[in-house]
A = this chain, B = another copy of it.
Amino acid sequence: MKKEKITFNIDKEKDFSRWYTEIVQKAELGDIRYNVKGFLVFQPWSVLSMEKMFKHMEKNLQRKGHKPYWFPTLIPEKNFMLESEHVKGFTPSVFWVTEAGDGKLEEKYALRPTSETAFYQMLSLWIRSYKDLPYKTYQRANIFRYETKNTRPFLRSREFHWIETHCAHSSLEDAKKQVKEDMETTKEVLHDIYGLPFIFFERPQWDKFPGAYFTYAADVLNPDGKVVQQPSTHLISQHFSKVFNIKYKDKDEQEKLCFMTCYGPAISRIFASVIIIHGDNKGLVFPWKIAPKQVVIVPISQDKEILKKADELKKQLEEKEIDVEIDSSDKSPGDKFYFWEMKGIPLRIDLGRKEIAKKELTIFRRDLNKKETIKEKDIIEEIDRLAKEYDKNLIKKADSLFNNRIIDVDKKENLKAALESGKIARVGFCSLEMDGAKCAEVVEKDFQATVRGTKLEKEKVSDKINKCPICGKKAKEVVYIARQY
């Protein structure tokens, strides 16, 4: 542990961009000084949390019947070429492996920017009969995209860490069910465990995943009023199963094409949202279940009795699978308090002679930035209670902030003000077919914003927002407009 005093105090709402850059550095989440542009070194404090995030997501997927795979990172160029939309959408952002040892390779290999074309050729070998369906897979993987936009740690890196699911179904109906299940998974994990509020949008036709019929994506809102696209789930066109020959023999003995779906929660990018949504002016605030460490014990002095008690408590908590850190460094208690608040550990136990004599524990809660006293003998039950309260608080706070930042906008003039005050605008919109694309272009050019899409359960056009604020035509859809990264 370094001895230098660390204080952190940046107004997250007012100075969000600096807040983010500084906290990533001060809390040692990621280091951008690696000598390949756009590539981040993920440091222990983020990796410990993201490992837990992976665990929760994978457990949920496995419970729903997804089986884990590890596919090769390299995908032959020819696999991409099979589906024309996909090749157009992805090849501009592909890193290519062209040499090995001292020589040139006979063909070019992509570093996977996504793995449909890797999974699909194998699914075509594995799937035989209707009995094999649905065939539900996933993999945890590192993904490479040659981003031309500015990169930002965790939010957009040229290498990131995600889970991708790839499923094959016997009917369009089953495929749609899968898309719904993916959205439920997003709610169960991103909202209920990571504490992130979001809206799932059906993206407009002009903003789909290359090669998909429909794309649904969850948008999370940052304090600067920009949305971050989090997991998206896609109903893939049957053209894919055709070119990759993914067929099954149905009950009627006929060979039929499968319907494909995929879902891609990018854990390292979701981590950015966790940091952004829950953090405050003092630094990080981790949700309980994905905190790198959940409890820090700060012995008030180097007194042997205190250190012994700290060890005892640590062991007791670890038996209950709670991750505990003891800070027995030679820093002052005050410095330790600042440091661990900045690092976002949910609960801190301040341990001194007084506490030991009274058989009590003083617990600092990072959610309320407040102390509570509990009886030492009740430590397990009390920590359990506090952890539950803590998560509830975090989720409630995040939800209410989010809901307060959605605003109905009826006129072009009001759109700019809404967006500049960091809000998501709910508007009536002329059309979501390709002819609405023109109004969407105006939104992009004149407002530096994008049409995020419609909610899955389509909303009715109300009197207040019955005209498209761009072209003034009668509104057919309710869409949301926001700025994005």
Interface residues of A (CB under 8 A from B): 1-3, 31, 33-36, 39-44, 47-48, 51, 67-76, 79, 91-102, 108-109, 111, 118, 121-122, 125, 128-129, 131-132, 142, 144, 146, 148, 159, 161
Contact = CB atoms under 8 A, between A and B. Distances in A.
A100 B72 CA distance: 19
Contacts of A36: 72, 74-76, 109
Interface of A is mostly: mixed
A73 B160 CA distance: 10
A159 B148 CA distance: 28
B131 A79 contact: no
B92 A99 contact: no
Nearest to A330: B131
Nearest to A4: B128
Contact of A102 (B2, B74, B92, B118): B92
Contacts of A2: 128-129, 131-132
Contacts of A91: 101-102
A99 B67 CA distance: 34
25 contacts: A2-B129, A2-B132, A33-B125, A34-B121, A35-B76, A35-B121, A36-B72, A36-B74, A36-B75, A40-B72, A41-B70, A42-B69, A42-B70, A42-B71, A47-B69, A72-B159, A74-B95, A74-B159, A91-B101, A95-B99, A95-B100, A96-B100, A97-B97, A97-B111, A101-B148
| A-B residue pairs, 8 tightest by C-beta | A44-B67, A39-B72, A42-B70, A96-B99, A100-B146, A47-B68, A95-B100, A98-B98
Nearest to A35: B76
A3 B2 CA distance: 61
Given A74-B95, A91-B101, A97-B111, 12 more contacts: A2-B129, A2-B132, A33-B125, A35-B121, A36-B75, A36-B109, A41-B72, A43-B69, A44-B68, A47-B70, A95-B97, A96-B99
Given A97-B96, A98-B98, A35 B3 contact: no
A268 to B, nearest CB: 8
Contacts of A100: 94-96, 146
A73 B159 contact: yes
Contacts of A132: 2
Contact of A72 (B3, B34, B131): B34
A249 to B, nearest CB: 12
Given A3-B131, A41-B122, A146-B101, A70 B33 contact: no
Contacts of A76: 35-36
Nearest to A329: B131
Nearest to A42: B70
A129 B101 CA distance: 39
